[in-house]
A = this chain, B = another copy of it.
Amino acid sequence: MPLVPYVDEDTADGVVKEVFDDIKASRNLARVPPFWRAIAHQPEYLRHEWQKLKAIMSTGVIDRKVKEMIAVAVSATNNCDYCVRSHTDALRALGATDAELVELLSVVDFFNGSNAIASGLKVEYEPAVPATPPDV
């Protein structure tokens, strides 16, 4: 059970209704996902969180599927159930297979492990020294 009730999307008005309508329109959704309804108790926070998400997922050169992979990588590292499920579903909708999801998480596994040993041994970074200079 969530720790706050979800704001009712059918009776929402003002800023909340505006954001809810934009979420449904931008994502082609019939219903507002529970995450947004939970935070709608603070309308200004809801508005800025949604606008920030729209901006970071759509601007720039990194493609959407890669951004969803990063979302899963961070969420698995933090062990966020909601977020792992939500962005895994998004990846599947973009064509990710079981093998691809495991491949993604194998990278997450490796670096969570190696982060702990690099930090634990206080290894100091040195830029790599190439054996042969890159071609000109």
Name A's B-contacting residues (CB within 8 A): 1-5, 24, 27-31, 33-35, 38-39, 41-42, 44-45, 47-49, 51-53, 55-57, 59-62, 66-67, 69-89, 98-132
Describe A's contact surface by its main secondary structure: helix
Number of chain copies forming the complex: 6
Question: B41 contacts A99, CB within 8 Å?
Answer: yes
What's the least CB distance linking A105 to chain B, in Å?
A: 5
By a CB distance below 8 angstroms, the chain B residues around A102 are 4, 38-39, 41-42, 45, 121
Question: B29 contacts A115, CB within 8 Å?
Answer: no
Q: Which one, B53, B55, B84, B86, contacts A122 given CB within 8 A?
A: B84
Q: Which one, B48, B70, B98, contacts A48 given CB within 8 A?
A: B48
Question: A112 contacts B112, CB within 8 Å?
Answer: yes
